[in-house]
Amino acid sequence: RKEVEQDPGPFNVPEGATVAFNCTYSNSASQSFFWYRQDCRKEPKLLMSVYSSGNEDGRFTAQLNRASQYISLLIRDSKLSDSATYLCVVNRWLMDTGRRALTFGSGTRLQVQP
Partner 1 sequence: DGGITQSPKYLFRKEGQNVTLSCEQNLNHDAMYWYRQDPGQGLRLIYYSQIVNDFQKGDIAEGYSVSREKKESFPLTVTSAQKNPTAFYLCASSITGQGGLNTEAFFGQGTRLTVV
Please select the residue that binds partner 1; options are 11, 34, 82, 83, rule is CB under 8 A.
Answer: 34
Q: Which of the stretches 13-21, 56-64, 69-77, 94-102 binds partner 1 when contact is defined by CB under 8 A?
A: 94-102
Please select the residue that binds partner 1; options are 16, 28, 39, 46, rule is CB under 8 A.
Answer: 46
Specify the residue, 1 or 41, whose C-beta has the smaller distance to partner 1: 41
Contact 31, 91 (CB under 8 A): yes
Contact 107, 85 (CB under 8 A): yes
94 binds partner 1 (CB under 8 A): yes
Q: Which of the stretches 12-20, 28-36, 52-60, 63-71 binds partner 1 when contact is defined by CB under 8 A?
A: 28-36
Q: How many Cα atoms are found within 13 Å in the side-chain-facing hemisphere of 63?
A: 10
Across 3-59, the runs of DSSP E, i.e. the strands, are 4-6, 11-14, 19-25, 31-38, 45-50, 55-57
Look at residue 101 and give its three-state secondary structure.
strand
Question: By the criterion CB under 8 A, which residues form the site for partner 1?
Answer: 6, 31-32, 34, 41-46, 49, 87, 89, 91, 94, 97, 99-107
